[in-house]
Copies of this chain bind each other. A is one copy, B any other.
């Protein structure tokens, strides 16, 4: 039993049981991976993987349980290494952040800029994707933490911390009919084609529920993954946009205006930071989080994510 074997097993599961991929992902030879896994199985006296001839097709029942233990052991070993690193006052390394487009482009830039000045030797990686991808990336330990708004609360493996709240706003080109109307209602908005986020990719619960509650079925003509695409099409006069208010603060589309911003058609959304339970981060990761949400202090995060 050694850590390398554990890493191979974990990677095998994460790479669809393709040992060739595992080998390339972990920068080693395929035959070595194969042998180490077999060695581990023989030492434990149980088969971890179901094999069909020479192909791995799944985990055995025992393998499933063993995998959980192995993942925990590796997690804690990585914690130990990170702990040592930070004790060492190390200020170089990697910082992997899983996030969605909205956060990557509208909320993170300020923190990233500050962080890069403070820790010039830390390599920042933004892993951008859907909420599902974001949570998976953190659960797998590929990213140190996540910043996103949707899809992070349903996972027992994650612990989430609220950062800030915001609402969706209605956006139209300057001079649009809605800009001339007073006392705008959601029904008024629903009379125009809607351009907003793709549900599957971005989550837009608060938007949908607002229309449902008002008894309206909006004509969602076009959906996109990020606000910039949406704004581009609204700018072209193809419909009324609904985007996060933070997406309107960059002033890059001078021809677009928000309407009835005081009406608050939609329930607020809360952007959260998620850390995998039991994960200890580098000290600079906590610094980064504090830059995004100053009220989230390292001591608190460490305590809640690592009870005991």
Contacts and interface: CB of A to CB of B under 8 A. Distances in A.
Contacts of A85: 45
A115 interface: no
A70 B80 contact: yes
A80 B44 contact: yes
A76 B79 contact: no
Given A2-B3, A3-B1, A80 B88 contact: no
Contact of A83 (B3, B66, B83): B66
Nearest to A41: B84
Contact of A80 (B66, B77, B79, B83): B66
**Main SS class of interface, A:** helix
A44 B2 contact: no
B72 A84 contact: no
Contact of A84 (B3, B44, B80, B87): B44
Given A66-B80, A73-B76, A80-B66, A87 B46 contact: yes
Interface in A49-93: 62, 65-66, 69-70, 72-73, 76-77, 79-81, 83-85, 87-88, 90
A69 B79 contact: yes
Interface in A83-125: 83-85, 87-88, 90
User: How many monomers of this protein are in the complex?
Assistant: 2
A43 to B, nearest CB: 8
B90 A80 contact: no
A45 B83 contact: no
A81 B2 contact: no
Contacts of A87: 45-46, 62
Contacts of A79: 69
Nearest to A70: B80
A90 B45 contact: yes
Contacts of A83: 62, 65-66, 69
A66 to B, nearest CB: 6
Given A45-B88, A45-B90, A88-B46, A73 B66 contact: no
A76 B80 contact: no
Nearest to A84: B44
7 contacts: A1-B3, A1-B77, A2-B3, A45-B84, A45-B87, A73-B73, A73-B80
Q: Which 8 A-B pairs have the closest CB atoms?
A: A44-B84, A45-B88, A69-B80, A62-B87, A46-B84, A46-B87, A73-B76, A45-B84
